[in-house]
Structure 1
Amino acid sequence: MRKSIASYLSLSLTICILVGISFTTDETVDLSKYSTAGLKLDYTVSPDDSIANDDLASNDLNQTFSPYLGKSFVGFKEAIGFKESGGDYNSVNTFGYLGKYQFGAETLKMIGINDPSHFLKNPGLQEKAFIANAARNKWILRRDIKNFVGKRIDGVLVTESGILAAAHLAGPGSVKRYLRSYGLDNFADGYGTTVRYYMKHFSGYDTSFVQPDRLAKAL
């Protein structure tokens, strides 16, 4: 009987020692064999080293989180929408321009929208209108984009996104005159905002998403 108890105690002690050793063993994992080398990594937005970490997060808990859109096409149209109206789909300015992107009634007609009231109440239609208008302007300005992108006019580097933004502000005709006069004919809207300002302020965005289309319609 005593031998059985002694054997039981010895077995229990051995198990405790083995369990203790298993928890105290410092086993390292070799990560050198795990690598992304050779893999095609697909990012939706290019890295931008100029953005600080503080820009990505805020200590103010009352602020609404907004993803960093960088120089993407979505970043382009949202930047224009914010400049035009603060991003307000219901906005109507003192000159009667409508919506988030501040369209005039005549421009809306050219892209197939004949009911400004319906347009103002329809955010989805406003987004389609922005793309249609950009596509139409890109077709009208296709030769100027080819001839002037990469050059400097009045100290401003000409980019496709700057041209399209300026055309949204002032119309493609005003942008043609600005480019072909090398900055001498610098149209300003009713609030004093110039073609040159939009050309500079919206420079360098990726607008390859917009396909030139002479007959582009929002509907």
Structure 2
Amino acid sequence: MRKQCSLIIGTVLVIGGVISGFKKYETLRLEQYKLISDKCLTYDLPSLHANENGGDWIKVPFTGKTYVGFKQAIGIRESYGLYDIVNPYGYMGKYQFGKTALKAIGVIDTKEFLRDPLLQEKAFDALLAKNKWILKDEIQKFVGKTIAGISITESGILAAAHLGGAGSVKKFLYSGGQSRFRDGFGTSIGTYLKKFGGFDTSKIEAKQNPVVLL
């Protein structure tokens, strides 16, 4: 009887140890966003029989630190890459534009903006061009330096300007990192300077008054 009890207790302990080794699933909550359109989201999943007809597998290009990679990284961070989304503060689309920023590059109709992915991509390019013009002196002066432990790069500066505006980036740079703007969700200028540093944004031409044209 004692042997049976010992065996049962030992088995329970082993099972308990195995179960405790599994991590709980983490649930990602998107309460700070809301979808505008009533379109269904669809996904293409890989299949074991996808190549039955002799077709080639789709090759997804590696974007790395290219400009395309930069845009995708920003889009994922801002909105998980969703175009028809608005956060509680009214920032819209894949790159979470505010109305003031949109007006500055000639976009007035926000409903059309949310419906048009191409317009959003062009708007992002235009805003980068404008911020690159505003921050051209700072880019020349600070790129290659280290501030508050962050290696300053052109792409990091442009990403930070997208987060908090060119003025906030200037304050951070000239204060040696002491001036730390944060957005409504607590994300700092320094976070974007670091996270999005080292991408190739040379494709963007600095423009004083860029306007989005389709």
- Structural mapping, 1:141-180, within 5 Å: 141-180=135-174
Aligned to 1:25: none
1:184 and 1:91, CA in 2 relative to 1: closer, same or farther beyond 3 A? same
Name the SS of the counterpart of 2:176 in structure 1.
coil
Partner deviation per Cα, 1:185-217 (whole Å, 9 max, x = no partner): 010000000000000000100000000000111
Name the SS of the counterpart of 1:102 in structure 2.
coil
Partner deviation per Cα, 1:4-33 (whole Å, 9 max, x = no partner): xxxxxxxxxxxxxxxxxxxxxxxxxxxxxx
Aligned to 1:83: 77
Aligned to 1:107: 101
For 1:210 and 1:163, the matched residues in 2 are separated by: 13
Tell me if 1:181 matches 2:175: yes
1:126 and 1:79, CA in 2 relative to 1: closer, same or farther beyond 3 A? same
For 2:62 and 2:133, the matched residues in 1 are separated by: 29
Aligned to 2:125: 131
What amino acid is the match of 1:91? I
Match of 1:212 among 203, 206, 211: 206
Partner deviation per Cα, 1:48-68 (whole Å, 9 max, x = no partner): xxxxxxxxxxxx947x97432
For 2:61 and 2:95, the matched residues in 1 are separated by: 20
What amino acid is the match of 1:213? K
What amino acid is the match of 1:206? D
How many residues align structurally?
A: 159
Larger radius of gyration: 1
For 1:212 and 1:151, the matched residues in 2 are separated by: 21
Q: CA RMSD in A?
A: 1.4
Give TM-score, length-normalised by structure 1. Answer: 0.70
Aligned to 2:196: 202
> What are structure 2's unaligned runs of at least 5 residues?
1-44, 48-57
For 1:193 and 1:65, the matched residues in 2 are separated by: 34
For 2:60 and 2:84, the matched residues in 1 are separated by: 21
Tell me if 1:119 matches 2:113: yes
Partner deviation per Cα, 1:46-97 (whole Å, 9 max, x = no partner): xxxxxxxxxxxxxx947x9743201000000110001000000011111110
What amino acid is the match of 2:86? V
What amino acid is the match of 1:112? G
Percent identical: 53
> What are structure 1's unaligned runs of at least 5 residues?
1-59
Name the SS of the counterpart of 1:187 in structure 2.
coil
For 1:66 and 1:182, the matched residues in 2 are separated by: 40
For 1:61 and 1:126, the matched residues in 2 are separated by: 29
For 2:180 and 2:212, the matched residues in 1 are separated by: 29
What amino acid is the match of 2:102? L
